[in-house]
Amino acid sequence: MILEFAAVIAVSYLVGSIPSGYIAGRVLRGIDVRDFGSGATGATNVMRTLGRGPFVVILLADALKGYVPVLVAWFLFESHDLQVASGLAAVVGHDFPLYIGFRGGRGVATSFGVYAALALPVSLGLVAVGLFIILAFRYMSLMSILTVPLGAVVFLILAAAGVKEVAGVEEYTYTKAVFGAFATALVLLRHGGNIRRLIQGTEPKLGEGGGRQRRRAAEGRKPLSAL
């Protein structure tokens, strides 16, 4: 079993490490998206720097990085523990990608992909809540820091209630709640600056905040207008 865990964790981390947003920036505009906006490689910063079309593609790509490894782990081993290990590794890979110096995204879309593989009904409900938050408040960060923890709470409630099946999904185990707790901790940690700005009322709303980072500009890299 140890070998299975090691293999699942390694493969899932490498899949999660695929820097979709970084690749999109290089291919479409010859830029490093980490030099702009929030400095992350996730879909939200891609939208700020590259537009809505790339945003949709990267959103799906980042979600698939969590969904596919977890689903494959289940089909190969039929183990909830290995599923969760796969999901944890995929999110860590997205946030700290091996291929581009461990500076990646914030794990929201990838966490949603893992949620979808663990329990699609829960994931669909979270998507609906997330869309409401975005439309009502226009803060992507607010959606992130509310929906991922909500998923953890739902998994915990279902496990504590002893629910065995919902919409065809069997065994809502405490192990799945463990993933939710881990994803919540990582998302909140990675959104520390956003949380402070939300409290201060200075957080950029949807479609705002795509300017070049001053720290990166000071390092002498070419400005966007020169690319």
Contact criterion met (CB below 8 Å) for 209 and 48:
yes
Contact criterion met (CB below 8 Å) for 28 and 54:
yes
pLDDT at residue 163, as a whole number: 76
> Please, which pLDDT band fits residue 106 given cuts at 50, 70 and 90?
very high
Whether 15 shows a pLDDT value over 90: the answer reads yes
Angle value at C-alpha 103, between 33 and 201, nearest 5 degrees = 70
> How far, in Å, CA of 147 to CA of 123, rounded?
10
The residue that leads in pLDDT, 165 or 64, is 64
Q: How many CA atoms lie within 13 A of 11 on its CB side?
A: 15
pLDDT at residue 89, as a whole number: 98
Residue-wise pLDDT tens digits, 138-194: 999 999 999 999 999 999 998 898 877 665 666 788 999 999 999 999 999 999 999
Residue-wise pLDDT tens digits, 195-204: 999 999 999 9
pLDDT at residue 212, as a whole number: 75
